[in-house]
C-alpha cells in the first residue's frame, strides 16, 4: 500500500514533467522578452556626418555621424525597438560642458533629425555634462585648494535643467538625467513645466552605481575623467537600502520611470525596487556587461547568442520591463 507521502515523493514532486518538451516549457514560461522592451544606446559624434568609428572595446558598436546614424535608426524602427538613447561625442569640449546645453550641440541636432525622419521612433535624451567637459566630470568642478576638487551640485543642476530644455525643444520623447546630482529631477521637472513641456516624462538614472563596468563607455563617449573618479556622486556598490531612498526621492521629485544601472550585478536592487514602487523600472545593461559577453564569445569560451539572451532574460525576470542594451538589435533578431 502506498502512503500519501510516498505518492508525493514519487509523483507530486516531479517538477521535470513541465520541462520535458518545448511545447510544455513554452506553456509554463513566466518571462519573455519583446523588442519593445529594448532601448538602443547610440553614440553620435560631431566629427563628421558620415563618421562610423568602431569602438575598440565594444565590438559592433560605433560612433556615428548625423547621417550614418540614420540607417541605425531605420533598423531600430524596423525591429520595433522601444526606442533609442543618444550620447554625444564632441570635439568641442570645455570646462563648463557648453555643448551639452547649446542648441547647436550634436545631440540636439540629432534629436531634430531623427524626429523629422522617424517621428514614430521614441528618442531618449541622456542628460549629463561628462561627454562635453574637458575634464570629463559630470558637473562644474571647483578647485578648493590642497588638491581638493568638488563637483558643485547646485550650479551643475542649473545647467542640467538647461540641457533638458534644449533636448525637449529639439523634440525628445523622454528625458533621462544620468549625472547623479541631488535635486536634478525636481529642477528638470520645474524647467520643463515652466516651458510648456508638462507632458514630457522623465526617466531618472536613480540608482546609478560607481562601477568599473562603465570602462568601455568612457572610450566610446570619450568621457573618462582626466583626474579623480565619480564616487562623490555615483552610489557605493555595497549599498542597497540607499537605493530605496534615492528611488523614493526621485519619484517624489517627479521621475516617471526609474533606472538601475548597471544591471547584471544589481539584479537584487532591480527586484527590490520593482517590489516596493509602482513606477516602471528600467535597467541599463552597460558597456562592460556587453563587452565581457562579446569578448568571451569571440574567444569561443561561451555561446554568445545564448549568453546575450540569458542575460537579458535575467534582467527582465528581476523586474525591469525596460532594458537599455547594446544588444537591442541583435537580440530582437532572435526573438
Q: Which residues contact ligand PBG by CB under 6 A?
A: 126, 128, 130, 138, 178-179, 214, 217-218, 223, 230, 286-287
d(CA 177, CA 305): 31
d(CA 128, CA 188): 12
Task: Judge whether 261 counts as a catalytic residue.
Answer: yes
Exposed / middle / buried, residue 6 (Cβ in 10 Å: 0-12, 13-18, 19+):
exposed
In the complex, least distance from residue 269 CB atom to Zn ion, rounded to whole angstroms: 20
d(CA 237, CA 248): 18
In the complex, least distance from residue 325 CB atom to ligand PBG, rounded to whole angstroms: 9
Q: Which is nearer to Zn ion, 89 or 267 (CB)?
A: 89
d(CA 326, CA 72): 12
Binding span for Zn ion by CB under 5 A among 27-35, 103-111, 138-146, 154-162: 138-146
Q: Which is nearer to ligand PBG, 49 or 183 (CB)?
A: 183
Choice among 78, 116, 261, 316 that is catalytic:
261
d(CA 140, CA 144): 13
Task: Judge whether 208 counts as a catalytic residue.
Answer: yes
In the complex, least distance from residue 101 CB atom to Zn ion, rounded to whole angstroms: 14
Smallest CA-to-CA distance from 120 within 87, 79, 176, 88 is with 79
Q: Which does 217 bind (CB under 5 to 8 A by kind): Zn ion, ligand PBG, none?
A: ligand PBG
In the complex, least distance from residue 128 CB atom to Zn ion, rounded to whole angstroms: 3
Q: Does 130 bind Zn ion (CB under 5 A)?
A: yes
- ∠ CA 179-86-291, nearest 5°, is 85
Q: Does 128 bind Zn ion (CB under 5 A)?
A: yes
Q: Which does 325 bind (CB under 5 to 8 A by kind): ligand PBG, Zn ion, none?
A: none
In the complex, least distance from residue 218 CB atom to Zn ion, rounded to whole angstroms: 10
Choice among 92, 112, 148, 208 that is catalytic:
208
Exposed / middle / buried, residue 249 (Cβ in 10 Å: 0-12, 13-18, 19+):
middle
Q: Which does 45 bind (CB under 5 to 8 A by kind): Zn ion, ligand PBG, none?
A: none
Give the one residue of 138, 264, 273, 308 binding Zn ion; rule: CB under 5 A. Answer: 138
Q: Which is nearer to ligand PBG, 46 or 126 (CB)?
A: 126
d(CA 167, CA 79): 25
- ∠ CA 272-275-276, nearest 5°, is 85
φ, ψ of residue 40 to 5 degrees: the values are -95, 120
Query: Which residues are the active-site residues?
Result: 208, 261
Amino acid at each position: 500500500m502506498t502512503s500519501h507521502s510516498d505518492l508525493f515523493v514519487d509523483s507530486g514532486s516531479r517538477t521535470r514533467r513541465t520541462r520535458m518538451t518545448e511545447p510544455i516549457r513554452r506553456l509554463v514560461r513566466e518571462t519573455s522578452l519583446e523588442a519593445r522592451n529594448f532601448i538602443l544606446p547610440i553614440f553620435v559624434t560631431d566629427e563628421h556626418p558620415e563618421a562610423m568609428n568602431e569602438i575598440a572595446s565594444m565590438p559592433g558598436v560605433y560612433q556615428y555621424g548625423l547621417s550614418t546614424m540614420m540607417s541605425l535608426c531605420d533598423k531600430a524602427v524596423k525591429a520595433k525597438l522601444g526606442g533609442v538613447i543618444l550620447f554625444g561625442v564632441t570635439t568641442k569640449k570645455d570646462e563648463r560642458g557648453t555643448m551639452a546645453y547649446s542648441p547647436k550641440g550634436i545631440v540636439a541636432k540629432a534629436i531634430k533629425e531623427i524626429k523629422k525622419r522617424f517621428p514614430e521612433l521614441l528618442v531618449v535624451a541622456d542628460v549629463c555634462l561628462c561627454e562635453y567637459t574637458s575634464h570629463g566630470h559630470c558637473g562644474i568642478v571647483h578647485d578648493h585648494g590642497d588638491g581638493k576638487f568638488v563637483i558643485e551640485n547646485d550650479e551643475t543642476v542649473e545647467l542640467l535643467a538647461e540641457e533638458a530644455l534644449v533636448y525637449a525643444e529639439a523634440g525628445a520623447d523622454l528625458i533621462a538625467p544620468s549625472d547623479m546630482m541631488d535635486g536634478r529631477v525636481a529642477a528638470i521637472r520645474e524647467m520643463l513645466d515652466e516651458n510648456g513641456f508638462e507632458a514630457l516624462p522623465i526617466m531618472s538614472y536613480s540608482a546609478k552605481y560607481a562601477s568599473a563596468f562603465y570602462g568601455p563607455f568612457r572610450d566610446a563617449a570619450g568621457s573618462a575623467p582626466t583626474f579623480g573618479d565619480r564616487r562623490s556622486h555615483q552610489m557605493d556598490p555595497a549599498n542597497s537600502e540607499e537605493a530605496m531612498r534615492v528611488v523614493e526621492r526621485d519619484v517624489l521629485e517627479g521621475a516617471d520611470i526609474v533606472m538601475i544601472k548597471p544591471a547584471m550585478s544589481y539584479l537584487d536592487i532591480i527586484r527590490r525596487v520593482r517590489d516596493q514602487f509602482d513606477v516602471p523600472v528600467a535597467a541599463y545593461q552597460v558597456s562592460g556587461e556587453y563587452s565581457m559577453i562579446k569578448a568571451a564569445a569571440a574567444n569561443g569560451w561561451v555561446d554568445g547568442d545564448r549568453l546575450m539572451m540569458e542575460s537579458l532574460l535575467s534582467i527582465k525576470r528581476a523586474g525591469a520591463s525596460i532594458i537599455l542594451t547594446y544588444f537591442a538589435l541583435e537580440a530582437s533578431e532572435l526573438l
